[in-house]
Structure 1
C-alpha cells in the first residue's frame, strides 16, 4: 500500500465516524423527550463529528494553513456550541418547557427563587423620561 492509499482509507474512516455522529445526533433529536436531552444529543456529537471531519481534511491536505484554519474552526465551535446550548436550556427552564421529573437535582430553582424574592421586594423602576 502506498501513502496515498493509507491516507484515503484514514480519511474515509474519519468521514464515516463523522457521519455516524451526525446520525446519532439526529436520532437523539427525534427520540429524546425534552429540551435538555435534545440539547445534549445535538451538541456533543456535533463537536465530535466536526473534529472527525477536520481531522479527515487535515489528513487529506496537510498544510500549515489548513491546520491553522481547522484549529480555529474547532476552537470557535467548541466555545460557541456549549454556550449556545446553555442559553437555550436556561430559556427553556425559565419558560417551563422541560420535564422536571427527568431532573435528578435541580440546582437552578434555588437561585431563581432567590432572585424572584429579591425582585419582589424592590420597587419597580419607573420609565425614563425623555426630553422633548
Structure 2
C-alpha cells in the first residue's frame, strides 16, 4: 500500500470522543457535587478536555438529574408510596415558603446621588468623624 503524496501523515493521539455512558457519568457526578477535577480524573482525561466535550453535562447535569429524581418521586407517590408523598409535600412546602419570603421582602427605594452622599457623610467614622459635644458639669434641670 502506497501513501499518497498529498495526504499528510497522521500523528499523535486520536481525537477524544465521549461515549453515552461517560456523559451519564459526568451528569451523575455533577449532581452529587463532585468537582470538575475529580470528574476529569475519574474519566482519565484532562479538565480542559472535560470542559470541551462535556460542556452541556457540566452546565445542566445537576438540573437534568434533579428533574429525573423528581420524576421518580412523582411515580412512587402516584403508586401510593407514603415516603415519596411526604417528601414531595415537604419539597412543595419549602418551595412555597421560599416564594413567600421573596414576596415579603421589600426593596429599598433607589436613592439619588445627593441622598447617597448625605447618608455616607452621616456615617463617617474614625479620625474624620464629627467630635462629640462637650459634657456639661452642671445639670440645669433637664
TM-score using structure 2 length: 0.26
Structure with bigger helix share is: 1
Structure number, greater radius of gyration: 2
Q: Specify which structure has the bigger relative contact order, considering alpha-carbon pairs within 8 angstroms and separated by 6 or more residues.
A: 1
Q: Calculate the TM-score normalised by the size of structure 1.
A: 0.28
